[in-house]
Structure 1
Amino acid sequence: MEHSRMADRYPGGPVSLMSRVYKHILPGVRGELAEWRAAAQAIPDPELRKQALSSMETKQFHCEGGAVYAAVRLDMKDVLIPLIVALQTISDYLDNLCDRSTSLDADDFRLLHRSMLDAVTPEAPLTDYYALRQERDDGGYLHALVRKCHAAIAELPAYGRVQAHVKELVGLYGDLQVYKHIAKARREPELLAWWERHRSAYPELQWNEFAAATGSTLGMFMLFTAACDPELTPETATRIREAYFPSICGLHILLDYLIDQAEDREGGDLNFCSYFGSPEKLDERMLRMVRAARQAADRLPCPSFHRMIVEGLIALYLSDPKVKGQRDVRRTARLLMKGSPWTRLFFWLNSHWIRKAM
């Protein structure tokens, strides 16, 4: 019964999905971001203001891609779009603050990311997330984002059945952000020690693949969408978490790192694709991750929708202009696109169109 009810709501195919995206999702996301942009422009501290605005200018597509999940529940889009945009905006803003930080303090990064954990914990009191850094006066911007998440989550009838999974994924995401932004000499040892605490649960993964998977917000967004159903079962919530993390989440972020390799080399930033050791090994592991993500999608209710997410991710990242300037990445892209189903080609063309329209 649960499956048939859900199937009635899911878009019937790629054309139906993109129709909903163009008509409902993109305008909704852009409206939310316009409001947050206005709030960011009023931030008193110049550095916090700069990073808040920059995160929305350069990472708008994160919110647009994440909000695709609201296409499943158009009746709840006025709850899901604000929630997804607010949580993703926190994530992108904090990423900018840590990436371009005036400190390398793990405690500072941990406290900043507590805001994300508080955002998905409706009963959590707000705190001073900037207490351990110089720049502190954001005019209430981060608190407003957290409160927006609280208000939206209060409208999700089955949030209690997904909350533990969401908090687990947000906790892992916060761990990653701490370990990858501390002093360069400490990053790899801390990441490897973190992996040792989790590796027994994910024997199929390499440490860099696990770390990459923790950087995705897609599992959180799918759990929000599932929580719209008052009859969601705990078993289905667990299936979603296990399908998305690590397979679909891992593919998502490894594709992101794949196309950012030249940029990260130039900036001296950590890139998880560089740890595969050779182009051949990278290709082998990327193909394995594509297969694992497809298999994970097939284990979920309404698998065709989740397959579209997988094919859409491949299309979105491999159609990025960054691919053209990197010979090794072009080779990997050709390999991953080889024998593509028409769905992926359809999303590839739409990804180009959306970028031009931005």
Structure 2
Amino acid sequence: MSHLTDNTFEYPEGPFAMMRRVYRYVLPEVKGQLAQWREQAERMPDPELRKQALASMRDKEFHCIGGSIYAAAHVNARHVLIPLVVALQTISDYLDNLCDRSTSLDPQDFRMLHQAMLDAVDPASPVNDYYAFRQEKEDGGYLEKLVRTCQSCILMLPSYALVEAQVRELVSYYCDLQVYKHIRKDLREGELLRWWELHRERYPALRWNEFAAATGSTLGMFMLFLAASDPSLEQAEVTAVREAYFPYICGLHILLDYLIDQEEDRQGGDLNFCNYYSQGEALDRMSMVVDSARTKADGLAAPKFHRLVIEGLIALYLSDPKVKTQADVVKIKRRLMRNSPMTRLFFWVNSVWIRFSSLN
């Protein structure tokens, strides 16, 4: 399979240029990709697998749209980047549903399911029996096709060899998190803390819940895919991207997600990493993560683009209707949005519009 032929990067440096590309390229092409995967899912023989696959695409379409923002930085590579991002994010969302909404509490089952993500980012890997430890198995080849799509797209990225180790590390972290957070409730916190002990020396500025949150983001993987579409990529840039995205930009992403879901998770008895902050702590820790993300972004090759990503994340999550019903979250929103740059306000309006249009 041939590599990309037109490798001209044209990073959008302003919010208008970014959103113009999102509306022109990203939104319609993501929706087209998801429509194809929806057709595949509808043909699944097993009713439970079919239900969870369709639900994941219906309820989490926004994840694929957000991840595909990176294709707006290199529109000439979007025919590779958008199918790759959508396929990997669809695997992630589908498996999350299988673990989160399943009767299974078997860590071996969760580990085997998520082997699909590790295989997806290794073009040399054979596919495995991902349903080996669960009763439902007949998906009509759906998960295997998603894995193969990722692998075939990755083969077209000219510099993937430079980012592969970093991508695999982030995917491995993600898979570990999915196993530990979905096991029996009386075991999960202990397993997460034991896991943190293996990594805490490398991330002294973080707390265990912040590390765990950062591992739950796929944005670092997607940014590394974008970097790998550049044939002139150098190792120093890969290192800088990795250190900016993990843990800070990735951590901001998922902490914001957990922040707005606190009440919902409290009622459902679900794990929420923001619930581990004492009263008043969340604002200080969120501010630290935001400041660190911005500082790290300023050291990357296209700092304005990465700043757009950060401001977009803040706007996306804090424009969610769930914020209004939680007094503590409203306070954090007011602080983080105080003296908001026009960029963030611009993204706020567009986030509301995209969210509305994806529901209709």
| 1:213-252 deviation digits (Å, cap 9, x = unpaired) | 0000000000000101111011111111111000000000
Amino acid at match of 2:329: V
Question: What SS does structure 1 have at the residue aligned with 2:325?
Answer: coil
Please, which runs of 5 or more residues in structure 2 have no aligned partner?
1-6
2:192 match? 191
Whole-Å Cα distance in 2 between the matches of residues 323 and 345 of structure 1? 16
Q: Does 1:93 align with 2:94?
A: yes
Matching of residues 1-358 of structure 1 within 5 Å: 9-278=10-279, 280-358=280-358
Provide the rounded CA distance (Å) in 1 between the counterparts of 2:8 and 2:119: 32
How far did residue 12 of structure 1 move?
A: 2.7
Give me the whole-angstrom Cα distance separating, in 2, the residues matched to 1:214 and 1:7.
31
| Aligned residue identity for 1:20 | R
How far the C-alpha of 1:8 sits from its partner, in A, is 5.5
Structure 2 SS opposite 1:151: helix
Contact 2:9 2:74 in 1 (8 A): no
Structure 1: stretches of 5+ with no match in the other structure: 1-5
Instruction: For 1:162, give the aligned amino acid.
Output: V
- How much has 1:64 moved relative to structure 2? 0.1
Q: CA RMSD in A?
A: 1.2
Residues 192 and 207, structure 1, Cα contact 8 Å, conserved in 2: yes
Q: For residues 8 and 183 of structure 2, what CA distance do their matches in structure 1 show?
A: 44
SS at match of 1:10: coil
Residue aligned with 1:223, SS: helix
CA drift of 1:7 comes to 9.5
Kindly tell me the number of residue pairs found equivalent between the two proteins. 353
Could you tell me which residue of structure 2 aligns to residue 3 of structure 1?
none
TM-score of the two chains, using structure 2 as the length reference: 0.97
**TM-superposition CA deviations, 1:61-105 (whole Å, max 9, x none):** 000000000001110100000000000000000000000112101
For residues 285 and 7 of structure 1, what CA distance do their matches in structure 2 show? 39
C-alpha distance in 2 between matches for 1:355 and 1:132: 36
CA distance in 1, matches of 2:274, 2:259: 6
After the TM superposition, which of the residue ranges 7-16 and 28-37 deviates more from structure 2? 7-16
Letter in 1 for 2:58: E
- TM-score, normalization by structure 1: 0.97
Deviates more, 1:346-355 or 1:84-93: 346-355
Equivalent residue letter for 1:257: Y
* Contact 1:51-1:97 within 8 A present in 2 as well: yes
Stretch moving more, 107-116 or 324-333: 324-333
Using the TM superposition, give the Cα deviation of residue 192 of structure 1 relative to its aligned residue in structure 2, in angstroms.
0.2
Task: Name the amino acid aligned to 1:283.
Answer: L
Displaced runs of 4+ in structure 1, greater than 4 A?
Answer: none
Residue 346 of structure 1 aligns with an amino acid whose one-letter code is F
Mapped partners of 2:221, 2:138: distance in 1: 29
The 8 Å contact of residues 7 and 302 in structure 1, kept in 2 or not, is answered as no
Q: Distance in 1 between matches of 2:355 and 2:217?
A: 21
Instruction: Work out the CA distance in 2 between the residues paired with 1:8 and 1:144.
Output: 30
Percent identical pairs in the alignment equals 64
Partner amino acid, structure 2, of 1:286: M
Q: Conserved in 1, the CA contact under 8 Å of 2:74 and 2:226? A: yes
Tell me, in whole angstroms, the C-alpha distance in 2 between the residues paired with 1:7 and 1:76.
9
Shift, 1:357, TM fit: 1.7
